[in-house]
Amino acid sequence: MNYRTRYFIYGAIFGCFFPVISSIVDLLVQGLPFSLDSIMQVQRTQPLHWVIDSAPLFLGVFAMLAGIKQDEVMQMNQNLEQKVQERTRDLHEKNSELSIAQKDLSKSLEKISQSIDYAQRIQMALISNAEQMKTDFPGSFFLFRPRDVVSGDFLWYHRSNGYVYVAAVDCTGHGVPGAFMSLIGYCLLNKITSENKHAGTAEILDTIHIEIQKILNQKRDSEVHDGMEMALCRIDTKNKTVDFSGAGMGLCYISANGNMREVKADFFSLGGFHFKPNFKYSTQTISYQAGDRFYMFSDGITDQFNAQDEKFGLTRLRKNMAAHSNKPAAEQEKIFSAEIDNWKKSTRQLDDMMLAGIAL
Amino acid sequence: MPEVINIPATEDTPAIILDAVKGQISISGKALPEDSLAFFKPIYDWLKEYYQSPLATTELHLHLDYINSASTRHLFNIISGMQDLIDKQKNAKVIWHCKSSDEMMKTKGEELQSIVDISFEIKES
């Protein structure tokens, strides 16, 4: 039963007391006996009773009005409750959707991480040749800090026919695309030096440039301009010379007596298109003495920002090279690593980093 | 196509203004997009349209704090495209803005200046 009906009944019942009590009082006042006839008589003679007799109706109606309000409130409550239930159900649904999405996401992330870790093992196997450099040239070291597990930077080391070739390479991109490019560079270096055991450094760079264009179908207006910067040395241990050719990456040479000099690279990097179509790389030959050393590095180090948005810079790197170049290899590696960490702190790493120090 | 396109900078990409009314292209900030082609694509599209009726003078203003090697190649491509303007008897100018304290960007500007065939000005601040 709704409130309006219930309240009407309550009101009417309560209203009945008025005619009953007024009749009883009138009977007592007039000294009449309690009988239906006497009641009928007082009712008939006293018009005030007619007004009082309408009390059940009026009180019933008033109570019903309150009942209507109550009904409305109850209805609103009910609606609200329903809405709350609906919302709660929606939230539960969204919640479970989200947790499913989160699970999917972490599963994908895990798969991608595993895949990249796997790729990293392949990349590490490829560059493990660089370990030979440390044996052949004690005092040499190689600092390798990929931005995203796999790297577009790599060091390549190769011995052939009395020559030692060493290249520091910085491919366009980092992470997976960088690593793809590094494989192209790695394979081309191997291929060219195994086909021509006396290959000169400039000749190798010229060939790599053309080969990358071929492999990636690069034309003047194509969309893939990728390639790599490279510092390539051919060390002739018998005649004590270093031939150097650079494609966008130079080297820093420190003589045994402590003199430092910058060996500049040619501007153009490998692959993509060159502004000058018939450009050929140049070679610089350095005669060395035991105790000389040189450094090759990717711009990931010099371009690294600190919290104040300043770059590590070439000057800082050179200063560190000058200060620490005569220290043992392992110690140098630690020092350079710490210098970079100190600079970077919690700033994110922008690019792959690589630093190779070779002691002749 | 709108004559002025304004692409705001993000953490990884520079702010870009392509203004066909003034004949100015401006790139400022750090350029290290994960996918450089996707980022430079709107610029290429705009340039293609713009080159159909270029103004007498086109200026490329570069205010770069950092540019990764993949993006550098796209920049070369854009500058090389500007060289074609000279063939059409138009003026093309590159203005390389850098902080005098930023030796890396200064060197990059100087190297670029030495190889391009169009007017290339370095403004230090």
Domain edges within chain B? 4-124
Residue A45 confidence (pLDDT): 84
Long-range contacts of B114-119, Cβ-Cβ distance < 8 Å, separation of 24 or more: B114/A267, B115/A267, B115/A268, B115/A275, B115/A276, B116/A275, B116/B79, B116/B83, B117/A275, B117/B83, B117/B86, B118/B79, B118/B82, B118/B83, B118/B85, B118/B86, B118/B92, B118/B93, B118/B94, B119/B91, B119/B92, B119/B93, B119/B94
Nearest residue to A61 via CA among A141, A123, A4, A124: A4
> Do A350 and B66 lie within an 8 Å CB cutoff?
yes
Q: What is the pLDDT of residue B2?
A: 60
Closest Cα to residue A155, out of A143, A167, A145? Answer: A167
Residue A167's DSSP bridge partners are: A156, A232
- Nearest by CB to A314, which of B37, B80, B104? B104
Stretches where chain A sits below pLDDT 70 are: 275
Sorted by where each begins, the domain ranges of chain A are 1-127, 129-359
Q: Is the pLDDT of residue B1 over 70?
A: no
With beta carbons under 8 A apart, name residues in chain B contacting A175: 34
Tell me if B120 sits within 8 A of B83, measured CB to CB.
no
Around B104, how many Cα atoms within 13 Å sit in the side-chain half-sphere? Answer: 22
Long-range contacts of B82-87 (CB under 8 A, 24+ apart): B82/B58, B82/B118, B83/B116, B83/B117, B83/B118, B84/B51, B85/B51, B85/B54, B85/B58, B85/B118, B86/B117, B86/B118
And the tokens for A77?
Answer: 């409550």
Nearest CA distance, A310 vs chain B (angstrom): 8
The CA distance from A35 to A306, in Å, is 108
Minimal CA separation from B16 to chain A, in Å: 20
The DSSP output letter for A349 is: P
Gap from B44 CA to chain A (nearest CA, Å) = 10
What would the DSSP string read from start to end of A74-123? HHHHHHHHHHHHHHHHHHHHHHHHHHHHHHHHHHHHHHHHHHHHHHHHHH
Contacts of A249 in chain B (CB under 8 A): none
Inter-chain residue contact B76 with A225, CB threshold 8 Å: yes
Asked if the Cβ–Cβ distance from B114 to A267 is below 8 Å, we say yes
What is the β-pairing status of strands B119-124 and A228-236? unpaired
- Other CB atoms closer than 10 Å to residue B88's CB: what's the count? 9
Given a cut of 60, is residue B97 above it in pLDDT? yes
Look at residue A212 and give its three-state secondary structure.
Answer: helix
Nearest-angstrom CA–CA distance, A172 and B70: 5
Answer for the pair B113, B122: CB distance below 8 angstroms, yes or no.
Answer: yes
Set of chain A residues whose Cβ sits within 8 Å of the Cβ of B102: 311
Q: Which of A171, A311, A351 sits opposite B104 (nearest CB)?
A: A311
Distance CA B117, CA A147 (A): 36
The predicted structure's pLDDT at residue A300: 93
Give how far A267 is from chain B: nearest CA, Å: 7
- Whole-angstrom distance, CA of residue B39 vs CA of residue B33: 7
A302: contact with B, CB 8 A cutoff:
yes
List, in order, residues 6 or more apart from A151 with CB less than 8 Å away.
A123, A144, A174, A178, A179, A182, A352, A354
**Cβ separation of A229 and B69 shorter than 8 Å?**
yes
The two structure tokens encoding residue A334: 């630690």
Please name the member of B32, B107, B116 whose beta carbon is closest to the beta carbon of A350: B32
Token pair for residue A271?
């692959």
| B102·A172 Cβ contact <8 A | no
User: Pick from B66, B107, B115: which is nearest to A275 by CB?
Assistant: B115
Q: Give yes or no for B91 touching A (CB within 8 A).
A: no
What distance, in Å, lies between the first and last C-alpha atoms of chain A? Answer: 103
Per DSSP, B32 falls in state: -
Average pLDDT of the residues of chain B: 90
Locus of tokens 């055991």: A197
Chain A to chain B, count of Cβ pairs less than 8 Å apart? 60
CATH number for region A129-359: 3.60.40.10
Q: Which residue has the tokens 């590490």?
A: A124
CATH of domain B4-124: 3.30.750.24
Q: Which of B80, B104, B114 sits opposite A313 (nearest CB)?
A: B104
B positions 20-79 inside 8 Å of A (CB): 32, 34, 36-37, 65-66, 68-70, 73-74, 76-77
Indicate yes or no: CB of A311 within 8 angstroms of CB of B73.
no
Number of other residues whose CB lies within 10 A of the CB of residue A37: 8
Neighbour tally for A150: CB within 10 Å: 25
Asked if A50 reaches chain B (Cβ–Cβ under 8 Å), the answer is: no
Nearest CA of chain B to the CA of A161: how many Å?
34
Of B103, B104, B115, the CB nearest to A267: B115
